Each structure stands twice: as structure tokens, then as C-alpha cells.
Chain A
């Protein structure tokens, strides 16, 4: 589904990613692990198209087509979704309104009419039940005054609504207590199917107890230094990252 080919990227003169190769197929879950500063979040930003980072070499293919020239919103329309480590607040805009806008913008890009209000409501009800969310929460301003757990759950709710092909979960576990972590992981698992793929970016292995990956990759100095199955995550948990450097 997504092929990352020899990606080099950085900010201004500072290079952060130094030749990343990754091939994620439909139905798979890949975990990207690594110490702080290894380039994990940069990788997710580059896939999502954040223009703060300059890609100097390599290519990213989604369903065999390069998406490197596409803007972040165009990539989103093609099914790329990123759950943010630090979701931003947008005062005065309810989660419902925000998600509605996002869905209709995507539909517009596909030449479809706005989703009728009735269907939108049905979808909201369905997905909020799936994630065991209190719907009152959806009429509050987006992320304003939300707890860490609420913010992350809201991200997964948006993911559920948008039904992306590729979901990148950027440090979704940070700032979550174990209960919130379970709820979020549960949500992600319910959304998994044979047609979509998930990239889980995390520092710790504990999230991977709940979202079990097919592959684990270790990132160091902007390169994947080791890949393996889910047992690699446990090994990292036991040994730390130093033995790989």
C-alpha cells in the first residue's frame, strides 16, 4: 500500500532522515520504535506532507503512485491519516463540525456531494459507540480543555470517521494512563481490516501489547537499523536501544 523509498529529509541544512526504506502492505501493522531524536516523528510528518520538512531524496508511493508532490490535504483525500502526538485546539469549532467539514472536503475532492446530515449523524453515532465515547464531548470545542486521554481518543474517533487507508499513530500512547491506553488501542483494533494499514510510532513497547504489530522497525539516526517481528519490541524493552547503535 505504501512504499517509502530511500527517503532523505530534514529541516533547512539539518538532515534528520537518512535513507528510509519501508514497505507496508494492506492489512499490516508496522511499529516504528526508536530513541528520542531518532527521526520517528519526522517520518510521520514527511508521510503526511508537513512542509516544515524538506525531502531531498527518495520517494513515497501510495498504491504505486508518488504522493511526494501532493499537499497534506490532497494526501488526506487519498486516505492518509495521522493521529497527532499533540493535537491542536481550535476554539469555537466543535469536534462534530470539524469532522463534518473534513468528511465533506474529502467527498468534494472525490466529486461527491456533501454527506446528508442524516447519514452524518448515523455515522457519528455508530463510530462514537464503537469507541465508547460520550457524544456530549463531540459538541465541545475541538481539543479545548481536553485531557490527554480525551485528545487521543478524539484523534481515533476522527480516524474512525474518515476511514483512512493508511493511519499513522504518532506517539499515541504518550500522556495516557493504562485505562486510556486500552480504550484507544481497542478502538484502533476495531478499525483494522484487510484493506487498511497502520503505522504505530512509539517509544515504548507497552502500546504494542494492545496493538500487536506484524513488523517492528528500529529507527536510529534517521535510518532503520533493525527490523523484525513483534518479539523485537520485547527485546528492545528488555535491552534498551543501546545495543543497536
Chain B
């Protein structure tokens, strides 16, 4: 009898290969390994940056030098040697002045493998894409269409040149250089990322999208994203990540800052699929990311994330609800398999009156992985009638994984209403047999059950992203390669 037990399933999960684990042979222009003031200066020079930016970086570097790597997260890993990382790597063929047609064909092939057909996207879906490979933005599509509305969407390095007033005004205001160890590091060495500005009253007519990919071995990726939604504007922003499989751990330390001015709305969606390491826990990306948004009066920020990759994830997309009546939302699916470790969640800081926040977190653990939700809900003394609702659900597969929930609640205002719900469940043999009996094989059954479990969050993603996310969930958990 072709008995398909949980053990077989586990074996299959362990032996599956990372689908995006190819390496593109593009000539790269990489800095020597190591970090010091000279390297910081060199990065700034390479980017042809103005003096104020160089100084900003150097200041961040000095702050970073005085800081220690945090250890409070529920993750164990060998700390990266920061002197053994190359802090700049640009595919040589990429020239920011080139159009998409001039981009290295091999690079375009890479995108094809990732399932990103730029042409298709350009023509059909109305998604503007900025693609960051290693450290440099390769192509920003749709720039002109956006420009007609006054929307700025470009690599951040370009924004520093072309719109220094905006960058100067907002960069580091939500995530200051001193915020934490990785944010300080990022501030010193960030090499690219995306910049987006939506003018007053403008509803961005298309989804804006950035794809990040680490290609070169031994390099870190430190991108910085800054999204500013001016008064009464709206933007939906998508971010996707992949990296080839490598034996060594690669470091990714990004900073994302969102600014929603009065009556503005920002939706920020991420599908994170960095290489998670192999079945023995070798290799994989260390993903230490600081994402935070500030909400002014009547504004709204929604974070939606699907996290399936990375060996170690340390990430808490947060909202500072500064303005009265502002709204913060966090919808998350975090999948861990094999030896992956994730410590992820959010912070909702209620400062203004009548502020509202919603947290829906879905953790799925398989293999020997550890999956933690860590969330802070903080109500300030002036935040009258603040409301929060949190729901944290965990789904376990097998007996060797772990799910943990660490909710922190701090309220300084008696009128606050805070609700927290949590559940833990396991995919049962009886559920699988029921599906099998209806002709649905075990792989498909798991996908179905996982999708059902994650539905509330998947529904928050823009359509084309939801399909990709669903596929990713299946790949991460089922062993179906391709």
C-alpha cells in the first residue's frame, strides 16, 4: 500500500530544494569585504552623493560602532562577522540611465525565472516595478505614466540627487539612525532601495512594486525604502524578495519608512522569499529588517506580509499612530520549515485620540523550525478611546516545530480597549484522510488547509500578489518543486 505518512511528508519537505536557488552569472562590481569609515565614504562616492548624505552616513556609522547586536529575540544563530561582508555589489551591466531594453539579457532571464515578466507587467497589469539586484536598482518601469500625476517613484539613490529636499526632510524621521543596531548599520551603508512620493490628493492609479534579489556571494543587501503619502493621497506598494541558495549566510538589513500625512492611506505588502537555508539549516539569509510607518491625522497604514523565506527573520512592521483618528493594520503570515527561525510581529503605538489598530497574525511551523509572534500594543496617556484588536493563530505540522506568542500590552489611558485572541492548532491525520477520500492528495490537502488558515491575510493582498503568495505557501510547505 502506498502509505503516505507524516514521516514521509516530513522527509519530502526536508529534501525539497529552494525553487529560486539559481545563480545568475552577471559580472559584478563588488567592493572588498569589511566596514570602516573609508568604505562608507566610498559607497557615498560611488553613488555620487552630496556632502550632507555622506555626513549622514558617517554619523550613522559612528552610532552603529557604539551599539551592540540585540539578543532579545527568540532566535539562535551565529552572529555575522560584519568585517567579512562586502557592502557594495552592483551588476556591472546595469546603468541607471539605460532603459529596460538595454538591461543585461541574463538579468532579464533571471527575472523570467522568478516569474516576473516585466514586459507583461508593463503592458497588462499596470504595476510599476523597481528592481533591486544586489545593491542597485536595475529598472524602474512606468516612470513616465506616474510622472503625469506628479508621482515620484525611483531608486532612492536617484531621489537623493533629484529630490534632496524630500529625502532630507523625511529620511530617518520614522526610523532614526539611533533606532537599533541594524537600522544604524543600514543608515551607514544602504546602497539602494526605492523612493516614492504621492502628491496631495492623488490616488496612485497602479500598484507600485519593488523586487529585491541578492545575487553575489558574500555580500550584504541593505536597501532603504521611503514612501511618503502627502495629504489625502493613496498608494498601494508591493515588495518581493528572492535570493539564490548559498552555503554561507547572507545578511539582509533593510529599513522601510512610511509617512502617511493627514487623510492619506498607504498599503504596504511584502512577499518575502529569501533563501531559507537547506534542510540541515546550512546557509540562508539573515533578515533583520526595521519597518515602521507614521500616521498623521485621519490617516491609515496597512502592513501585509507573507514571510516564507530567510534562515532567521527579525522583523516588526510597526505603526506610530500619532494623529487623531488614525488607523494601523498588520496582517501577517509567517511560514517556517526545516531549521528556519522567525521572530516577527508588530508594534502599534497609539498616541492620538480615537486611534485604532488591528493585528492578525498567522504562524505556520513545520520541520524543526521555531516561529514566534512578538507584538507590542502601547497606548499613550493622551490616546483617549484607543482601540486594538489582536488575533494570533498558530498552525503546527509535525512534532518537532515550535510556535510561540509574546504579546506585550502597555496602556496609560483608562479609556483604551484592547483585545487579544490566540489559538494553536495542528493539521490532523483525520483532516488529511478526509481530503484524500475526496480525491485530494496529501500535498494538495495541506495547501488547501494552509490556505484556509491564512485566508484572512491572503485576502488583504492585491490580487496578483495573492496568487503568488498562495503559490509560495505551497512551495514552502509541500515539497512540490516548480
A48, B456: Cα distance in complex, Å: 33
In the bound complex, do residue A88 and residue B3 qualify as a contact, i.e. CB atoms below 8 Å apart? no
In the bound complex, do residue A102 and residue B1 qualify as a contact, i.e. CB atoms below 8 Å apart? no
A72, B433: Cα distance in complex, Å: 8
A244, B435: Cα distance in complex, Å: 37
The residue in chain A whose Cβ has the minimal distance to the Cβ of B2 is: A71
Which residues of B396-442 are within 8 A (CB) of A?
428-431, 433-442
A80, B436: Cα distance in complex, Å: 11
- The prevalent SS among residues of A at the interface is mixed
In the bound complex, do residue B434 and residue A87 qualify as a contact, i.e. CB atoms below 8 Å apart? yes
In the bound complex, do residue A90 and residue B441 qualify as a contact, i.e. CB atoms below 8 Å apart? no
Q: Is B66 in the interface zone, CB < 8 Å from A? A: no
Contacts A55-B1, A92-B452 hold; do A162 and B434 have CB atoms under 8 A apart?
no
Q: Mark B1-42, 1 if CB is under 8 A from A, else 0.
A: 111110000000000000000000000000000000000000
Q: Is A160 in the interface zone, CB < 8 Å from B? A: no
When distances are taken between beta carbons in the complex, the residues of chain A under 8 Å from B449 are 90, 93
Q: How many A-B residue pairs have CB under 8 A?
A: 89
In the bound complex, do residue B448 and residue A162 qualify as a contact, i.e. CB atoms below 8 Å apart? no
Which residues of A60-106 are within 8 A (CB) of B?
68-74, 76-77, 80-82, 84, 87-88, 90-93, 97-98, 101-102, 105-106
In the bound complex, do residue A76 and residue B454 qualify as a contact, i.e. CB atoms below 8 Å apart? no
User: B449: shortest Cβ distance to chain A, in Å?
Assistant: 6
In the bound complex, do residue B433 and residue A91 qualify as a contact, i.e. CB atoms below 8 Å apart? no
When distances are taken between beta carbons in the complex, the residues of chain A under 8 Å from B440 are 73, 101-102, 105
In the bound complex, do residue A88 and residue B430 qualify as a contact, i.e. CB atoms below 8 Å apart? yes
Contacts A90-B431, A90-B452 hold; do A51 and B438 have CB atoms under 8 A apart?
no
Q: Is A50 in the interface zone, CB < 8 Å from B? A: yes
The residue in chain B whose Cβ has the minimal distance to the Cβ of A79 is: B439
When distances are taken between beta carbons in the complex, the residues of chain A under 8 Å from B434 are 84, 87-88, 90
In the bound complex, do residue A76 and residue B439 qualify as a contact, i.e. CB atoms below 8 Å apart? yes
Contacts A77-B439, A101-B440 hold; do A69 and B452 have CB atoms under 8 A apart?
no
The residue in chain A whose Cβ has the minimal distance to the Cβ of B442 is: A73
In the bound complex, do residue A101 and residue B437 qualify as a contact, i.e. CB atoms below 8 Å apart? no
Which residues of B62-112 are within 8 A (CB) of A?
none
In the bound complex, do residue B452 and residue A93 qualify as a contact, i.e. CB atoms below 8 Å apart? yes
Q: Is A158 in the interface zone, CB < 8 Å from B? A: yes
Q: Is A109 in the interface zone, CB < 8 Å from B? A: yes
When distances are taken between beta carbons in the complex, the residues of chain B under 8 Å from A49 are 1, 436-437
A227, B407: Cα distance in complex, Å: 63
When distances are taken between beta carbons in the complex, the residues of chain A under 8 Å from B436 are 49, 71-73, 76
When distances are taken between beta carbons in the complex, the residues of chain B under 8 Å from A41 are none
Which of A51, A69, A73 is within 8 Å of B439, CB to CB?
A73
When distances are taken between beta carbons in the complex, the residues of chain B under 8 Å from A101 are 440, 444, 448
In the bound complex, do residue B453 and residue A162 qualify as a contact, i.e. CB atoms below 8 Å apart? no
Q: Is A21 in the interface zone, CB < 8 Å from B? A: no
The residue in chain B whose Cβ has the minimal distance to the Cβ of A89 is: B431
Q: Is B471 in the interface zone, CB < 8 Å from A? A: no
In the bound complex, do residue A93 and residue B448 qualify as a contact, i.e. CB atoms below 8 Å apart? yes
Q: Is A141 in the interface zone, CB < 8 Å from B? A: yes
A26, B440: Cα distance in complex, Å: 25
When distances are taken between beta carbons in the complex, the residues of chain B under 8 Å from A74 are 2
Which of A69, A71, A106 is within 8 Å of B4, CB to CB?
A71
User: A111: shortest Cβ distance to chain B, in Å?
Assistant: 14
A97, B448: Cα distance in complex, Å: 9
When distances are taken between beta carbons in the complex, the residues of chain A under 8 Å from B438 are 73, 76, 81, 98, 102, 105, 158, 162
When distances are taken between beta carbons in the complex, the residues of chain A under 8 Å from B444 are 101, 105
When distances are taken between beta carbons in the complex, the residues of chain A under 8 Å from B385 are none
In the bound complex, do residue B1 and residue A68 qualify as a contact, i.e. CB atoms below 8 Å apart? yes
Most buried by B among A77, A81, A97, A102: A102
Supply 20 A–B pairs (Cβ within 8 Å), ascending by A. Answer: A51-B1, A51-B4, A51-B433, A68-B1, A73-B435, A73-B436, A73-B438, A73-B442, A81-B437, A84-B437, A88-B430, A88-B434, A90-B434, A90-B449, A92-B454, A93-B455, A101-B448, A105-B438, A105-B439, A158-B438
Measuring CB to CB, which residues of chain B are less than 8 angstroms from any residue of chain A?
1-5, 428-431, 433-442, 444, 448-449, 451-456
Task: Given contacts A51-B1, A71-B436, list 7 more A-B pairs with CB under 8 A.
Answer: A48-B437, A77-B439, A90-B434, A91-B452, A93-B448, A101-B440, A105-B440
The list of the 8 closest CB pairs from A to B, nearest first, reads: A92-B452, A76-B439, A93-B452, A72-B436, A102-B438, A92-B455, A106-B439, A88-B434
